[in-house]
Amino acid sequence: MGKHVLVIEDEPNIIEAISFILSRDGWTVDTHSNGHDAVDVVLAKAPDLVILDVMLPGRSGYDILTDLRGRSDTATLPVLMLTARGQTKDREMAEKLGASLFMTKPFSNAEVLEALRALVPA
């Protein structure tokens, strides 16, 4: 059975790169690019894992993560947070809100695959 990831990211080049890497690795990839209705999309798609950007149009990844963690049906969903800023406070905020992992852009393909395999074992 394939693994299903939802990438919530607004930068087309990053969406394309992640989609390519993961599709090649056997993942089913869905993408979404704004924060307004991201929680609804997560609920509708029911992925095994979410890759969530911090900076999104509409709502921040932190707000979305807070909503996901506050719901019983998504409280334990693995979430990999992406940010362009690698400051300690960003990482601490992500961890405090319940992010499973945190990755700073730019990242390597190998880092992404390694992170996802750690969060969703085959």
Question: What's the number of domains the chain is made of?
Answer: 1
What does the longest C-alpha to C-alpha distance in the chain come to?
38
68 is in which domain, residue-wise? 3-119
- Residue pair 64/100 in contact (Cβ under 8 Å)? The answer is no
**83-103: pLDDT as tens digits:** 887 788 988 999 999 999 999
**10-28: pLDDT as tens digits:** 999 999 999 999 999 999 9
3-state secondary structure of 60: coil
Percent of the chain predicted with pLDDT > 90: 88
- The whole-number pLDDT of residue 1 equals 52
pLDDT at 115 over 70: yes
What's the CATH number where 95 sits?
3.40.50.2300
> For the whole model, what pTM was predicted?
0.95
121 pLDDT tier (thresholds 50, 70, 90): confident
Contacts of 65 (CB under 8 A, 6+ apart): 52, 79, 81, 94, 97, 98, 99
Residue-averaged pLDDT of the chain:
94
**34-74: pLDDT as tens digits:** 999 999 999 999 999 999 999 999 999 999 999 999 999 99
CA 41 – CA 8 distance, rounded (Å)? 9
